[in-house]
Amino acid sequence: MSFSPPVFLKESEENNSKFVEIQQAQTTSTVSEDPLQNLCLASQEVLQKAQQSGRSKCLRCGGSRMFYCYTCYVPVENVPVEQIPLVKLPLKIDIIKHPKETDGKSTAVHAKLLAPEFVDIYTYPCIPEYEEKDHEVALVFPGPKSVSIKDISSHLQKRIRNNGSGKNDDPDKPSVKRKKAEGQDVCDFSESKWKGTTLKRIIFIDSTWNQTNKIFTDERLQGLLQVELKSRKTCFWRHQKGKPDTFLSTIEAIYYFLVDYHTDILKEKYIGQYDNLLFFYSFMYQLVKNVRCSGDKETRKLTH
Ligand SMILES: [Zn+2]
């Protein structure tokens, strides 16, 4: 689906009871704890204007869309690309989506729109070959073998050691081997520097929970290091039935991964560097929230 006004209205009715639950849960926390409240975001005026003028044309495929085209991964005509923030990421992101996942529902597109140079989206079963790169790639998946973000580097180091010598074209690897061979401890600074470059690519699966399991069991992904995110509550309005509110939307998962990567692996202070990844997400969240908060009369005013 796309974010057309009638759908917003329909959704707000369907999910009203859920919203009440969320509201109740939130009363225990202060406003500042709302994860989308204090983001460092670019001006969303362009989205406000686009929302008021309604759907616009995708300049690539001609489709009529709200804000962006979810098949071409570009903003629509009334959302000029130069008014959309560009986010720089410290590593590459691959998103594998299930073919049955409805494109318009996915928040994975947000990552591609906001960090196009760093993000690639693949539709399962067409995925890259990771086998040769398993010492610098990890898969975000919560399972019994998953490790936490802060432990990624040490687990990848083990793989480098186990993979043995030869076949490497990676400038990081010889120095690591040399240090190990000399039996020297690496000083804190170079350790953190080195750790920052170990992981080069992180993979996210973008689908419902059942489909995620199917993709996860693909043998091409089975050998990869699995990483689990810290538990955080979702703000997603398409919260999946029967799933806990810690089941994040894809863009939330990417965002939180990067925040933790920044502090736990790069060892740098997080000052909002990746907040703009939530540029569309926070706007849509607010929109849905406003629709749900207002009565029918207000809703009609907002959506017509
Ligand atoms: Zn298009």
The answer to whether position 32 is within a domain reads no
Distance 102 CA to ligand 1 centre (A): 15
Look up residue 161 and give its two tokens: 């050691």
Q: Verify that 55 and 156 share a domain, yes or no.
A: no
Q: Judge whether 217 and 139 are in contact, CB under 8 Å.
A: no
State the CB neighbour count (10 A cutoff) for residue 34.
12
Distance 251 CA to ligand 1 centre (A): 20
Instruction: Specify the pairing of strand 64-65 against strand 56-57.
Output: antiparallel
Q: Verify that 253 and 211 share a domain, yes or no.
A: yes
Q: Verify that 136 and 64 share a domain, yes or no.
A: no
Question: Can you tell me the mean pLDDT for 17-46?
Answer: 62
Q: How far apart are CA 171 and CA 169, in angstroms?
A: 6
Q: Verify that 253 and 107 share a domain, yes or no.
A: yes
Q: Verify that 94 and 67 share a domain, yes or no.
A: no
The answer to whether position 125 is within a domain reads yes
Percent of the chain with pLDDT over 90: 53
In total, how many domains does the chain have? 2
Closest by Cα among 155, 147, 176 to 260 = 147
Pick from 100-109, 177-186, 282-291: least confident:
177-186
**Residue pLDDT, tens place only, 1-15:** 334 333 343 344 444
The answer to whether position 138 is within a domain reads yes
The answer to whether position 186 is within a domain reads no
The answer to whether position 188 is within a domain reads no
Distance 84 CA to ligand 1 centre (A): 17
**Residue pLDDT, tens place only, 251-280:** 999 999 999 999 999 999 999 999 999 999
Q: Verify that 68 and 201 share a domain, yes or no.
A: no
Q: Verify that 154 and 51 share a domain, yes or no.
A: no
Distance 255 CA to ligand 1 centre (A): 25
Distance 67 CA to ligand 1 centre (A): 11
Distance 1 CA to ligand 1 centre (A): 13
> Which carries the bigger pLDDT value, residue 232 or residue 282?
282
Closest by Cα among 234, 233, 237 to 288 = 237
Can you tell me whether residue 57 is helix, strand or coil? strand
Q: Judge whether 163 and 135 are in contact, CB under 8 Å.
A: yes
Largest CA distance in the chain: 74
Q: Verify that 89 and 118 share a domain, yes or no.
A: yes
Q: How far apart are CA 136 and CA 147, in angstroms?
A: 15
Distance 99 CA to ligand 1 centre (A): 17
Look up residue 173 and give its two tokens: 């690897």
Backbone dihedral angles phi then psi of residue 56, each to the nearest 5 degrees: -135, 175
Which ranges in the chain belong to alpha helices (H)?
5-14, 16-26, 45-53, 108-114, 152-163, 172-181, 188-198, 209-216, 219-222, 250-260, 279-293, 296-303
The answer to whether position 19 is within a domain reads no
Look up residue 26 and give its two tokens: 């939130």
Per the listing, tokens 């009369």 go with: 297
126, 132, 133, 134 alpha-carbon torsion, rounded to 10°:
90
Question: Can you tell me the mean pLDDT for 224-242?
Answer: 80
272: domain range?
A: 85-160+197-299
Distance 284 CA to ligand 1 centre (A): 20
Distance 64 CA to ligand 1 centre (A): 8
Distance 105 CA to ligand 1 centre (A): 15
Distance 69 CA to ligand 1 centre (A): 5
Distance 286 CA to ligand 1 centre (A): 25
Q: Judge whether 206 and 98 are in contact, CB under 8 Å.
A: yes
Look up residue 300 and give its two tokens: 């009609």
Distance 55 CA to ligand 1 centre (A): 12
Distance 68 CA to ligand 1 centre (A): 8
Q: Verify that 204 and 69 share a domain, yes or no.
A: no
Under 8 Å CB-to-CB from 107, ≥6 apart: which residues? Answer: 236, 249, 250, 251, 252, 280, 281
Distance 292 CA to ligand 1 centre (A): 29
Distance 6 CA to ligand 1 centre (A): 21
287, 291, 293, 294 alpha-carbon torsion, rounded to 10°:
130
**In the beta sheet, which residues pair with residue 197?**
none
Can you tell me whether residue 185 is helix, strand or coil? coil
Distance 76 CA to ligand 1 centre (A): 8
Written as one string, the DSSP assignment of 157-184 is HHHHHHH-SSS---THHHHHHHHHHTTP
Question: Can you tell me the mean pLDDT for 116-145?
Answer: 94
Q: Verify that 260 and 204 share a domain, yes or no.
A: yes
| Helix H or strand E encompassing 19 | helix 16-26
Distance 257 CA to ligand 1 centre (A): 29
The answer to whether position 39 is within a domain reads no
Position 143 confidence tier, pLDDT thresholds 50, 70, 90? confident
Q: Verify that 142 and 231 share a domain, yes or no.
A: yes
Distance 75 CA to ligand 1 centre (A): 9
**Residue pLDDT, tens place only, 50-85:** 999 999 999 999 999 999 999 999 999 999 999 999
The answer to whether position 133 is within a domain reads yes
Q: Verify that 207 and 263 share a domain, yes or no.
A: yes
Last residue of a domain, one of 23, 53, 73: 73
